[in-house]
Structure 1
């Protein structure tokens, strides 16, 4: 099945101010995540989709496998974002905190490792919020988080791959702000929305296509995009 790719860029006027808005912030303090030694050439941080069991998820595993297939002799590590991935969408902010904690740990401990971020469905929103360009006006920042992603952190991020990112209309029904990719990584981002996926394309309703990314060329397409930037 053919895919379409789009990069979401900086916009103004994020209006919704509910819990998942924590995702637009960069974690500057908190417990670091474990880092494997020696440092890999590339590290993929991936947030799975809604209701998937802990781990990379189907799309994440397919994507990481495709990236490794293009790595040659270079090493690729992966990190599964630790968050509920439940139908309680505001808990996506847990994933934002965890993802950025891992990113900061990798940047500090493995500065030469090229970081790749990815997410599917709700996980795509998590990763999108990680890169967010601004703090929504009036929002009370949770403890341990302050400020949008810094230029120093963004320098470590080589590519971002999103699959089925929920549209502005979809996240609005969940009480969350739009997913806005920050300008520091916008040109490094591929955002794939399969034809007929109304969750990312808009229009509302139920989408059987939305759960099918792992079984299409989408992971390979995203891996091609990533490979051009990390290998």
Structure 2
């Protein structure tokens, strides 16, 4: 599966717009030393500063609100999130390695994973879906039951008429793959601003948090 030059230009243009719109002051919420009940592992979008990003931060907060009574911490995937869209593979390796390490150290911790824009591609690769944005490590299949939910926003995989739901037998039933109307990165639309609305539209983040929390509660 290859992403055309035209699509890469769209991704780059939207990334530049996102940087101008959001600034670079986002700070990660580090994973705590103690084992939590749930850890949200999230990959930010292209050009965002290291951390959870404009979507990941409110998503973590919303999940914490939905899971009162449980300890919920977070890990921001450590990857370049470069404008050339070439860092998704290394990001997937970091995501999968981190989950494997935490799972070994904390046998009762479950995970909610996801990403925004290029971070969604990071997630795709980490759960074993081939993309043209690189290759990277994948989460061991024996840990799949501990990944309770997958939530992605503005996933470029959709440009190839796929979603995580359709492309992954292992994770498809526990994935929410959201694409805003007009988003050129996931919907082949022409409204680049639509790609920036997930954190602010009043529905995408709450929907993802509710979806994830419900699956965590189901055990």
TM range (shorter): 0.7 to 0.9
Residue ranges of structure 2 left out of the alignment (5+ in a row): 4-29
Q: Equivalent of 1:207, from 192, 195, 216?
A: 192
Contact kept, 8 Å, 2:121 with 2:131, in 1: the verdict is no
CA shift at 1:133, angstroms? 4.7
In the superposition, the TM-score normalised over structure 2's length comes to 0.76
SS at 1:214's partner residue?
coil
In the superposition, the TM-score normalised over structure 1's length comes to 0.72
CA RMSD of aligned residues (A): 2.6
Deviations 1:64-119 (A, max 9, x none): 01001111121001000011111121222121111111110111111211111010
Q: Structure 1: how far apart are the matches of 2:177 and 2:159? A: 17
Residue ranges of structure 1 left out of the alignment (5+ in a row): 1-14, 18-33, 171-177
1:192 equivalent to 2:178? Answer: yes
- Counterparts of residues 58-73 of structure 1 (less than 5 Å): 58-73=54-69
The list of structure 1 runs, each at least 4 consecutive aligned residues, that deviate by more than 6 angstroms after superposition, is none
Q: Equivalent of 2:168, from 175, 182, 201?
A: 182
- Counterparts of residues 74-153 of structure 1 (less than 5 Å): 74-133=70-129, 145=137, 149-153=139-143
Change (3 A) 1:220 1:193: same
1:160 equivalent to 2:147? Answer: no
Larger RCO, structure (CA 8 Å, separation 6 or more): 1
Q: Which structure has greater helix proportion?
A: 2
Q: Equivalent of 2:207, from 203, 221, 231?
A: 221
Q: Structure 2: how far apart are the matches of 1:98 and 1:167? A: 20
